[in-house]
Amino acid sequence: MEALRWDKLVKHVLDAAEEHQLWVPGDRIVVAVSGGPDSVAFLHIMHEISSNHMPLQLICAHVHHGFRSESDQEAEMVEALAAHLGLPFEWIRADIPSYMKITGQGSQEAARDRRYAFLHEVASKYDAASIALAHHADDQAETVMLHLLRGSGLSGLSGMKFKRREKNVELIRPCLRINKTDLVEACNTRGFPYFTDESNSLRKYRRNAIRLDVLPFLGQYNGQLTPSLNRLAEIVGDEDDFMEQGAYDAYRCLVQENGGRLTFEVPSFLKLHVALQRRLIKLILNYLPLDSDFVDFTRIETIRRKVMEPSVTTWSLDIGQTLVCTREYDLISFGIRNDVQDQTYEYRLTNWRETYEFPLSEINRFLRLTTVIPEDYLVPESANQAAFDADQLVMPLIVRSRLPGDTMKVMGLNGSKKVKNIFIDEKIPPSVRPRIPVVCDGAGNIIWLPGVRRSNVAPVQEDTSAILYMTVGDSAIQG
């Protein structure tokens, strides 16, 4: 019976490894061993596999947390176990109290951070492909319940993954379908020494309370609660992976990077199912320099509902940590908040010969003036070009920044129109408007908004004898 039970444990791990592609022959694997029955049994299983089933190079790694009086003996026992199995042994005495003071973390969180940091250091030292952890089915059930009580989404309910990449190393958990009692019994029946962590019985830690109180209470109504929670984790995990892939596909199709900002078009976003809308926003936030704590459901849903508003087409939403989400008509963008005020400038142009170009350094653009005879006249090809009857223009020309109350007599319309309304009608994004200079004649009339509209001042006609071309462009392009 004993041999069959042991063989079954080994087979469970082998089956999980094959199903989830946890390793290939010759892989170096760092095995985390605390000294408890779970990790001790797991190390023996991994050694059995590397000796009789698949060539693997194992490294035993242990963290001395220093919380318990028996921590010294525990470290010595794990070192002796590694020596008995002929495995390299790496360990560290972590000063968790000092780390807690520096980070402000609780003991459990601080210990976890230092533990994983050390495991990654060992993996880097040995150029290991993965770090193997002894988390089992009971740990998974506790994790799912913990996340459920926190109000987690699918990603949380999927629990721990059999394989997850972190810092260029795979974190693998081959025992997620094995119960803790089976691992403890394996140690007891095969005579593997281990230590019991008495802090696991302290209900002040939420995970312990879930294990000792919540799960047993709910178990009165479902005798298969732990297997049920594990099945939930696997089903939700697969569906979460499917949704995540859909989010990545949507990101590749819809999201562009423009000037360090991540942008997408509103009409394309509205076609997505609400679940993908949330996933896409979450993915975008994950690409921004935000703390993971900021990427929560409330923030994601606030952004999504804001995008869905049909009545307001320009807005700015502070999403924290110097980042902002903005809408400019049909364009949504995410990036660093820009608090720089529009710069004020004014240039006067009185005389020039042939082609004259001068920089508008405040907005990183240039304006080029060229005088030609009617025989060389070409109709402007874009809104960045304009042609005027040179003899009808009142000098000097003035190129300046926009002022409150600016109006222009638009060609084809009777009367004047506010520049602000012209921008709105032409759907010029607010972030673009400061880079549009205002060109005036000597009488103060606005004759051209480069890239937008020209006025009815000095149009080119049949009797025009001299034509002035104006062209606006970006200085960086010219440079």
Where does 173-268 show beta strands of DSSP type E? 256-258, 261-265
Close Cβ partners of 54 (under 8 Å, ≥ 6 residues apart): 23, 25
The reply, when asked if residue 36 is annotated as ligand binding, is yes
| Start-to-end CA span in the chain (Å) | 81
What distance in Å separates the CA atoms of residue 47 and residue 86, rounded to the nearest whole number?
10
Q: Comparing C-alpha atoms, which of 116, 146, 306, 316 is closest to residue 229?
A: 146
Q: Comparing C-alpha atoms, which of 25, 31, 34, 6 is closest to residue 174?
A: 31
Q: How far is CA 455 from CA 189, 297, 384, 418, in A?
A: 93, 49, 14, 12
Whether the Cβ atoms of residue 115 and residue 14 lie closer than 8 Å to each other: no
Q: Comparing C-alpha atoms, which of 79, 75, 78 is closest to residue 65?
A: 75
Residue 366 gets the label, from left (phi > 0), alpha (psi -120 to 50) or beta, of beta
Degrees, nearest 5: CA angle 241-242-243: 90
Q: Comparing C-alpha atoms, which of 178, 188, 137 is closest to residue 11?
A: 178
What distance in Å separates the CA atoms of residue 419 and residue 438, rounded to the nearest whole number?
10
The reply, when asked if residue 35 is annotated as ligand binding, is yes
Size (the chain), residues: 479
Close Cβ partners of 328 (under 8 Å, ≥ 6 residues apart): 313, 314, 429, 430, 431, 432
Phi, psi of 54 (to 5 degrees): -155, 130
Whether the Cβ atoms of residue 65 and residue 38 lie closer than 8 Å to each other: no
The reply, when asked if residue 153 is annotated as ligand binding, is no
What distance in Å separates the CA atoms of residue 478 and residue 111, rounded to the nearest whole number?
56
Whether the Cβ atoms of residue 45 and residue 12 lie closer than 8 Å to each other: no
Close Cβ partners of 428 (under 8 Å, ≥ 6 residues apart): 436, 452
Q: Comparing C-alpha atoms, which of 210, 62, 240 is closest to residue 141?
A: 210
Bridge partner list, 170: 130, 165
Binding-site members are 34-39
Binding-site members for ATP are 34-39
